[in-house]
Amino acid sequence: MEELREVLKTEDLTQTEYQGRTFEVLIKSFKTHKKFLFPAFVLFGINGYVLKNFIVFHTISKEELITSFLITVAIEFILSLFQNSVISKIRGKNELDKTNLIFKSIVLSIIMTSINFSILMMSNNLASSIITIVLALCFSYFRQVYLSRDLNFFESIEENFKLLDGNRKRIIIPFIVVNIIFYILSFIFLVFAVIIGNYSTDASSELMVIVILVLFKLADGINEFYRKILASIIFLNVEDNQ
C-alpha cells in the first residue's frame, strides 16, 4: 500500500489506472481483508435465496422483505468497515477510533439500506432512475469522507461538495464503466433465472434458480467490494491533489 500511497499523492491517475489499481487492491483484499469478505459473501448468498421470488416473479412477502432488509443492513455495515480499512491502509493512518467507526458504520448502513430499498420498491422506474442519478452526482465523495475523516454527518456533506468541485467526472466516469459491465452480467444471470423460474415447475428447476440467484448475489458482492475500493482510491487521489 505504501507504493500506491505515494502514487496517489504525486500523480493524477487516469481512468484506466484507477481501474487497474482497484483490481490490484481487490485481489490483495482476498488475503488481507478475509474477515470482511467471507461473512459478506455468505450474507450476499443468503440474500439471493431470500429474494428469489422478488427477482423472478416480482412478488415478496412481508417476512422476506424484512429479512432482506436486515441482511442488507449487515452487509452495508461490513462494507463500511471494509472501506474504512482500505482507506486507512492506503493512508497509513486511521482518523477514527473504534467506537466512532462502529457508530458511523451503523448510521450509514441504515441510511444506505433505507434509500436502496425505497428506490427498489418504487413502481415508477423513471423516478427511481432520476433519484439514483441525482444522488450519484451530488454525493459521490460523501461515503468516503464520512467513513475516514473525523467529521460529523453534516461536515462530511460539506466536504463532499468541496471535493466535487472540479472533480465530479473523475469519479462518475469510472463508475459508469463498472455499472455497464455489471448490468450486462446481471441481465444474463436474471434472464436465465426468470426463464427457468417461469417455464419449469419441477424441483430441480427450482434448485437451479436458487443456484443462479446465489451466484448472481455473490457476483454482486464482488462488484460492491470493487466499487468501494474504486471510490476510495479516487477519493484519496482527489484529496491529495487538490
**Contacts of residue 157, Cβ cutoff 8 Å, sequence gap at least 6:** 139, 142
Question: Global pTM?
Answer: 0.92
pLDDT attached to residue 123: 63
The count of structural domains within the chain is: 1
Structural domain range at position 33: 2-240
- pLDDT per residue over 75-115, tens digit each? 999 999 999 999 999 999 999 999 999 999 999 999 999 99
pLDDT bin (cut points 50, 70, 90) of residue 74 is very high
Alpha carbons within 13 angstroms on the beta-carbon side of residue 52 total: 21
pLDDT attached to residue 154: 97
pLDDT attached to residue 14: 93
Query: In terms of C-beta density within 10 A (0-12 exposed, 13-18 middle, 19 or more buried), how is residue 178 classed?
Result: middle
Residue 71 has pLDDT above 90, yes or no: yes
Q: Is there a contact between 212 and 192 (Cβ–Cβ < 8 Å)?
A: yes
Rounded to 5°, angle at Cα 42 from 37 and 48? 125
